[in-house]
């Protein structure tokens, strides 16, 4: 299911319109994504820090170990399997995970990835998981929604 890119920006446009109406400023946050100054921009910046840190105990690995350049570049496993960049991750979730035979959300995928590097994933609905998901979602700014689509 594809949704036109302008429609994807509708929530952002509404936030900006509301912010302008009440006199809010909109500083650049992680990756030059424009969000209202406050809890969301704080979560994105915290998520970017967590993405680069060994907070979850992945034997010296971080999210950035597999998804370099803050998730903007892909890499490969030692066996040659490709690891995608994350610039469209939020645009393709939720998606069906055939090996698990269930629908995976972006939160599920983040927890799965941290588990793959032998780390201890953050709890569901925790501030840490919400921060990482917020950061990864910020990388998808402007991408066309393609639920169930493939990573790019």
Backbone angles phi, psi at 90, to 5 degrees: -70, -20
List all residues 6 or more positions away from 41 whose beta carbon is below 8 Å from its beta carbon: 27, 29, 35
pTM here is 0.76
Tokens of 28: 């650049």
Which structural domain range is residue 24 located in?
Answer: 2-146
Distance of CA 120 to the CA centre of its chain: 18
How many domains, in total, are found in the chain?
A: 1
CATH code, domain carrying 116: 1.10.760.10
3-state class (DSSP) for residue 97: strand
| Domain assignment present for 90 | yes
Nearest to 29 by CA among 135, 140, 145, 146: 135
In a domain, residue 151? The reply is: no
Residue 97, beta-bridge partner list: 102
pLDDT (tens digit per residue) in 73-122: 999 988 999 999 999 999 999 999 898 999 999 999 999 999 999 999 99
117 preceded by cis ω (within 30°)?
no
The 10s digit of each residue's pLDDT in 29-78 is 345 566 778 999 999 999 999 999 999 998 899 999 999 999 999 999 88
Which is nearest to 15 in space by CA: 47, 32, 52, 40? 40
d(C-alpha 71, C-alpha 58), whole Å: 17
């Amino acid at each position: 299911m594809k949704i036109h890119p302008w429609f994807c920006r509708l929530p952002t446009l509404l936030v900006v319109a509301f912010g302008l109406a009440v006199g809010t400023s909109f500083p650049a946050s992680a990756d030059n994504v424009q969000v209202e100054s406050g809890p969301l921009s704080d979560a994105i910046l915290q998520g970017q820090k967590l993405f680069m840190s060994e907070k979850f105990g992945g034997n010296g690995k971080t999210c950035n170990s597999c998804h370099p350049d803050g998730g903007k570049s892909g890499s490969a496993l030692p066996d040659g399997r490709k690891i995608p960049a994350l610039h469209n991750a939020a645009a393709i979730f939720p998606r069906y995970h055939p090996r698990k035979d269930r629908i995976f959300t972006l939160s599920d995928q983040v927890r799965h990835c941290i588990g793959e590097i032998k780390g201890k994933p953050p709890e569901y609905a925790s501030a840490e998981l919400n921060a990482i998901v917020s950061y990864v979602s910020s990388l998808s700014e402007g991408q066309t929604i393609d639920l169930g689509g493939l990573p790019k």
